[in-house]
Structure 1
Amino acid sequence: MQIPKGKKIYFASDNHLGAPTAEASLPREKKFVAWLDEVKQDAAAIFLLGDLFDFWFEYKTVVPKGFTRTLGKLAEISDSGIPIYFFVGNHDMWMADYFKTELNIPVYHKPKEFLLNNTLFYIGHGDGLGPEDKGYKRMKKVFTNPFFKWLFRWLHPDIGMRIAQYLSVKNKLISGDDDAKFLGEENEWLAQYSKKKLEEKHRDIFVFGHRHLPLEITLSNNSKYINLGDWIQYYTYGVFDGESFELKKY
Structure 2
Amino acid sequence: MKKIYFASDQHFGAPTQELSLPREKKFVAWLDEVKEDAEAIFLLGDLFDFWFEYKTVVPKGFVRVLGKLAEIRDSGIPIYFFVGNHDLWMNDYFEKELNIPVYHDNKEFTFNGKTFLIGHGDGKGPGDKGYKRMKKVFTNPFSKWLFRWLHPDLGVGLAQYLSVKNKLISGDEDIKFLGEDKEWLILYAKRKLETKHYNYFIFGHRHLPMIRSVGENSEYVNLGDWIGYLTYGVFDGEKFELLEYKK
Scaled by the length of structure 2, the TM-score of the pair is 0.98
- Gap change, CA 1:38 and 1:174, over 3 Å in 2: closer
User: Could you say which residue in structure 1 is the equivalent of 2:216?
Assistant: 221
Whole-angstrom CA distance in 2 between matches of 1:165 and 1:75: 25
| d(CA) in 1 for partners of 2:217, 2:19 | 42
What percentage of aligned pairs have identical amino acids? Answer: 75
* Residue in structure 2 matching 1:236, options 210, 219, 231: 231
Aligned length: 244
- Report the counterpart of residue 164 of structure 2 in structure 1: 169
**Secondary structure class of the residue paired with 1:11:** strand
Cα deviation, 1:45-83, whole Å, max 9, x if unaligned, reads: 000000000000000110010000000000000000000
For residues 124-163 of structure 1, the aligned pairs below 5 Å read: 124-163=119-158
| Matched letter for residue 30 of structure 2 | W
**1:185 and 2:180 correspond:** yes
Query: How far apart are residue 167 of structure 1 and its match?
Result: 0.2
For structure 2, which runs of at least 5 residues remain unmatched after alignment?
Answer: none
Contact persistence 2:86–2:170 (CA under 8 A): no
Instruction: Answer yes or no: is 1:12 the counterpart of 2:18.
Output: no
Deviation at 1:174, TM superposition (A): 3.8
How far apart, CA to CA, are the structure 1 residues paired with 2:177 and 2:165? Answer: 22
3-state DSSP of counterpart to 2:87? coil
Aligned amino acid, residue 175 of structure 1: G
Deviation at 1:215, TM superposition (A): 1.0
- 1:80 counterpart residue number: 75
Residue 86 of structure 2 aligns with an amino acid whose one-letter code is: H
* Superposed CA offset, 1:17-59 (max 9, x none): 0000000000000000000000000000000000000000000
Equivalent position SS for 1:169: helix
Structure 1 stretches (4+) deviating beyond 6 angstroms? Answer: none
Structure 2 residue 204 is the aligned partner of structure 1 residue 209 = yes
Is 2:190 aligned against 1:195? yes
**Residues of 2 paired with 1:176 and 1:242: CA distance?**
32
Amino acid at match of 2:173: D
Q: RMSD of aligned C-alpha atoms?
A: 0.6
Deviation readout 1:86-121 (Å, 9 max, x if unpaired): 000000000000000000000000000001110000
Structure 1 residues 108 and 15: CA distance shift in structure 2, 3 A: same
